[in-house]
């Protein structure tokens, strides 16, 4: 049972909350030791005060310690798990690629870092840490040669490929701030993100491949570059080797990398320097570019990946998210690589070439973990269990779920059909803003219960609070309210890039002294948490947040004025939906004669495929 006793929160306004967050991160001080964590939660050897007899609830005591002594807790983990470039100082310096790649080279350089699961099954490629290091260093040198340096934003519009991972880590290595944009957004959406970030550099591909279809990424970038007016250089990765038009600002990325050295000294980064920005939708206005720090984010992503999933060295971690979303950042790239693990880059869709794709991949690659969205589960369970049971899934230990509330039917199907009741179903709750998982059934005491369709327990350092409409924190159990967090944690976003006041107004002003998530939740009679869904008008599409303002821009004119013809705007919306929910491609096709007349049928289908809060 999780204790729901509350402490008085001493911070009375949002600015103090953020100031404390920065202070917490600045205490990450000293060189890394070789300490590793145990496989059963955070090792108590780092916290000897919890080395007691087996009758004690060690997890609960350690959780309480992480709340009551949060700065000491996180500083201890930072000292033991991050590699620092300098000894103690108020603000220490470290580098993400060093922690994700370099430090693994001496002993584990030939271990597989990436499994590139291409669109066509059975064509996977394996990339070792040594090979990844060479890619990262070569690309880092290319960027530096073209004038990209510390603090410069770089837009990345790539499919989920090794080159995308290398691009992210190359930016981090030289201190540039990467801004990965989902390679399914339209030129207008991409341009908005480029302009907002003031990015002069874009890294893209000739085409992407998804679900057997080629996606003209370079063409989209060409239009976005014209719209943005600020791009000085575009590096093009030849994913499909298609001959695409090249302009004066375009460079063939692989040719540029050919002559570069495989050595590149990493830029020393302050722990609070920005590692990346990632745009997420708001209920009004343009998407928000959330900025994450170098040390805090990296530590939190690594710790949650290891302990929520009980990740063990040598296992294969199959998060099927696109790298354009925060799940891809934290649990495809940074978390697994921080832990020296093997991570899957899934380039396809759950139904290509058939609804057995995930499970065939599990058998072929012998995955121990899979992490996906409830929408995919609901879609696949309707296809029948034969697509699952025909493949061997006995290697699976953890079945992760992310992005939206998991309903009971999907939970049971995941547990019984996919996992044969032998693998933990780990239903996680978190956000782009939180940087990593904040509520999940694990870690916990060994053998602790997992209840259906709820994330249940807060992670170390996370203190949830349910608040009523008057801003009063609800005490005890059997209560429902706005889900807030009443503590600071290192993975939390630091600001909205270029608009810190919006950051304060959005997340801290609604309930003073709390981080407001925008979601509602229930704390049940046992003290466990269940998410009820969004409290604003942000749509949750397959675990990806889309603002109604963005969608209204596209479809409002069609619905309200009854325009009878298709438009380029609707094609953009259709393209996005095809990427997020592939089966829509069979329904939403080019040349719809009358969008208005088909709207009810379209929305009916969308509700079946994406039965989330609207």
The pLDDT assigned to 105 comes to 82
- Tell me the C-alpha distance between 417 and 431, whole Å: 28
Q: What is the pLDDT of residue 102?
A: 82
**Rounded alpha-carbon distances, angstroms, from residue 545 to 39, 57, 281, 542:** 33, 37, 6, 8
Question: For residue 540, what pLDDT band results from cuts at 50, 70 and 90?
Answer: low
Q: What is residue 556's predicted lDDT score, i.e. its pLDDT? A: 38
| Cα separation, 517 vs 506, whole angstroms | 9
Q: What is the pLDDT of residues 151-181, one digit of tens each?
A: 999 999 999 999 999 999 999 999 999 999 9
Mean pLDDT of 137-152: 98
Q: Map tokens 């003209």 to a residue.
A: 216
Angle at 274 between CA 491 and CA 9, to 5 degrees: 40
Closest CA to 342 of 158, 41, 116, 123: 116
Q: Which of 60-74, 300-314, 583-597 has the highest mean pLDDT?
A: 300-314
pLDDT score at 607: 44
How much is the pLDDT for 44?
42
CB 424 within 8 A of CB 438: no
Question: 265 to each of 102, 133, 151, 261, how far by Cα in Å?
Answer: 11, 12, 16, 11
User: What is the pLDDT at residue 565?
Assistant: 31
CB 442 within 8 A of CB 455: no
Share of the chain above pLDDT 90, in %: 65
Q: Please give the Cα distance from 499 to 165 (Å, whole number).
A: 28
Q: Which two tokens stand for residue 538?
A: 């942000």
**Confidence band, pLDDT 50/70/90 cuts, at residue 441:** very high
Residue 303 and residue 295 in contact, taking contact as beta carbons nearer than 8 Å: no
More confident residue, 604 or 404: 404
Q: What is the mean pLDDT of residues 235-260?
A: 97
Q: Are 81 and 20 in contact (CB under 8 A)?
A: no
d(CA 206, CA 536): 38
pLDDT band at 90 (very low <50, low <70, confident <90, very high): very low
Three-class SS state of 178: strand
CB 123 within 8 A of CB 285: no
Task: Look at residue 82 and tell me whether its pLDDT is greater than 90.
Answer: no
| DSSP string computed for 500-534 | HHHHHHHHTSSSTTSEEEEEEEEE-TTS-EEEEEE
Q: What is the token pair recorded at 447? A: 């053998």
Confidence of residue 442 (pLDDT cuts 50, 70, 90): very high
Q: H or E element: which one contains 552?
A: helix 548-561
319-346 average pLDDT score: 97
Q: 538 pLDDT exceeds 90?
A: no
Closest to 560 (Cα-Cα) out of 589, 593, 599: 599
pLDDT at 534 over 60: yes
For residue 11, the model assigns a pLDDT of 34
- The pLDDT of 514-522, averaged and rounded, is 94
pLDDT-based confidence at residue 71 (cuts at 50, 70, 90)? confident
Higher pLDDT, 470 or 594: 470
Determine the pLDDT at residue 88. 34
- HEC assignment per residue over 348-401: CCCCCCCCCHHHHHHHHHCCCEEEECHHHHHHHHCCCCHHHHCCCCCCCCEEEE
| Overall average pLDDT of the 227-234 stretch | 97
Q: How wide is the angle at C-alpha 319 spanned by C-alphas 318 and 323, nearest 5°?
A: 130
pLDDT band, residue 597 (cuts 50/70/90): very low
Q: Do the beta carbons of residue 133 and residue 101 sit within 8 Å?
A: yes
pLDDT of residue 353 exceeding 70, the answer is: yes
Across 27-41, 92-106, 247-261, the highest mean pLDDT is recorded for 247-261
**431, 460, 430, 420: which is closest to 444 by C-alpha?**
460
71 vs 117, more confident = 117
Q: Residue 594 has what pLDDT?
A: 36
> Which ranges in the chain are annotated with CATH 3.40.50.980?
135-288
The pLDDT, as a whole number, for residue 396 is 99
Over 70: is that where the pLDDT of 492 sits? Answer: yes
Q: Is the pLDDT of residue 247 over 90?
A: yes
CATH code, residues 135-288? 3.40.50.980
Distance (Å) of CA 46 to CA 36, 404, 559: 10, 34, 59
The pTM is what? Answer: 0.82
Q: Choose between 314 and 7: higher pLDDT.
A: 314
Q: Are 193 and 155 in contact (CB under 8 A)?
A: yes
Roughly how many angstroms between the first and final C-alpha of the chain, as a whole number?
33
Under DSSP, is residue 581 helix (H, G, I), strand (E, B) or coil?
Answer: coil
pLDDT at residue 447 in the model = 86
pLDDT of residue 252: 98
As a whole number, the mean pLDDT across the chain is 82
Q: What is the mean pLDDT of residues 324-336?
A: 97
Which residues is 235 bridged to in the sheet? 203, 251
Buried b (16+ CB within 10 A) or exposed e, 374-403: bbbbbbbbeeeeebbeeeebeebbbbbbbb
Please answer whether residues 548 and 539 qualify as being in contact, where contact means their C-beta atoms are separated by less than 8 angstroms: yes
What is the rounded distance in angstroms from the CA atom of residue 66 to the CA atom of residue 42? Answer: 11
Whether pLDDT at 38 is above 70: no
Calpha distance 508→524 (Å, rounded)? 25
Tally Cβ neighbours within 10 Å of residue 579: 24
Residue-wise pLDDT for 4-34, tens only, equals 333 222 333 444 554 555 554 443 332 222 2
Which of the residue ranges 99-113, 181-195, 227-241, 529-543 would you say has the lowest mean pLDDT?
529-543
* Mode of pairing for the β-strands spanning 125-128 and 213-215: unpaired
Alpha-carbon span 162 to 344, nearest angstrom:
10
pLDDT tens for each residue of 373-422:
999 999 999 999 999 999 999 999 999 999 888 899 999 999 999 999 99
How large is the average pLDDT for residues 490-506? 95
Q: Which residue has the higher pLDDT, 89 or 176?
A: 176
Residue 53 in this model has a pLDDT that exceeds 60? no
């Amino acid at each position: 049972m999780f204790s729901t006793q509350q402490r008085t929160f001493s911070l009375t306004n949002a600015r103090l909350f953020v100031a404390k967050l920065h202070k917490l991160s600045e205490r990450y001080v000293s060189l890394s030791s070789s300490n590793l964590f145990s496989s059963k939660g955070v090792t108590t050897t780092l916290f000897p005060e919890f080395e007691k007899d087996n009758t004690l609830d060690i997890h609960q005591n350690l959780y309480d310690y992480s709340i009551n002594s949060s700065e000491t807790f996180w500083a201890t983990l930072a000292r033991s798990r991050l590699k620092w470039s300098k000894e103690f100082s108020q603000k220490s310096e470290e580098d993400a690629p060093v922690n994700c790649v370099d430090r693994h080279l001496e002993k584990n350089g030939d271990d597989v870092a990436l499994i590139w699961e291409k669109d066509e099954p059975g064509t996977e490629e394996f990339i070792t840490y040594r090979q990844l290091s060479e890619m990262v260093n070569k690309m880092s040198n290319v960027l530096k040669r073209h004038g990209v340096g510390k603090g410069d934003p770089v837009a990345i519009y790539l499919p989920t490929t090794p080159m995308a991972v290398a691009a992210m880590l190359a930016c981090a290595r030289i201190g540039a701030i990467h801004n990965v944009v989902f390679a399914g957004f339209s030129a207008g959406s991409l341009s908005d993100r480029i302009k907002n970030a003031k990015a002069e550099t874009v890294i893209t591909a000739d085409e992407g491949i998804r679900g057997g279809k080629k996606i003209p990424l370079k063409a989209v970038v060409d239009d976005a570059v014209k719209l943005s007016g600020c791009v000085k250089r575009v590096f093009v990765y030849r994913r499909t080797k298609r001959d695409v038009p090249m302009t004066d600002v375009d460079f063939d990325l692989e040719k540029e990398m050919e002559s570069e050295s495989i050595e590149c000294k990493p830029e020393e980064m302050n722990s609070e320097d920005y590692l990346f920005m990632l745009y997420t939708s708001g209920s009004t206005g343009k998407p928000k570019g959330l900025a994450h720090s170098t040390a805090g984010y990296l530590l939190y992503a690594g710790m949650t990946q290891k302990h929520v999933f009980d990740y063990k060295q040598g296992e294969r971690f199959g998060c099927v998210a696109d790298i354009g979303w925060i799940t891809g950042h934290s649990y495809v790239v940074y978390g697994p690589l921080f832990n020296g693990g093997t991570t899957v880059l899934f380039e396809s869709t759950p139904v290509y070439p058939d609804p057995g794709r995930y499970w065939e991949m599990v058998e072929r690659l012998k995955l121990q973990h899979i992490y996906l969205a409830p929408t995919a589960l609901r879609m696949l369970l309707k296809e029948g269990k034969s697509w699952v049971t025909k493949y061997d899934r006995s290697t699976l230990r953890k079945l992760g779920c992310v992005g939206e509330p998991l309903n009971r039917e999907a939970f049971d199907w995941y547990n019984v059909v996919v996992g044969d009741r032998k693998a933990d179903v780990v239903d996680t709750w978190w956000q782009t803003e939180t940087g990593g998982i904040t509520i999940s059934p694990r870690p916990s005491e060994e053998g602790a219960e997992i209840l259906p369709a709820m994330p249940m327990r807060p992670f170390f350092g996370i203190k949830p609070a349910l608040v009523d409409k008057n801003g009063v924190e609800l005490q005890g159990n059997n209560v429902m309210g706005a889900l807030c967090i009443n503590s600071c944690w290192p993975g939390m976003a630091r600001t909205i890039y270029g608009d810190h006041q919006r950051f304060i107004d959005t997340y801290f002003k609604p309930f003073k002294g709390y981080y407001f998530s925008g979601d509602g939740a229930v704390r049940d009679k046992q003290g466990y948490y269940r998410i009820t869904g969004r409290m604003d008008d942000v749509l949750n599409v397959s675990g990806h947040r889309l603002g109604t303002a963005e969608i209204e821009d596209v479809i409002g004119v069609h619905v309200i004025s009854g325009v009878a013809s298709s438009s380029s705007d609707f094609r953009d919306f259709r393209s996005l939906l095809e990427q997020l929910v592939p089966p829509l491609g069979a329904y939403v096709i080019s040349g719809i004669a009358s969008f208005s007349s088909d709207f009810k049928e379209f929305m009916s289908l969308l509700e079946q495929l994406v039965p989330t809060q609207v």
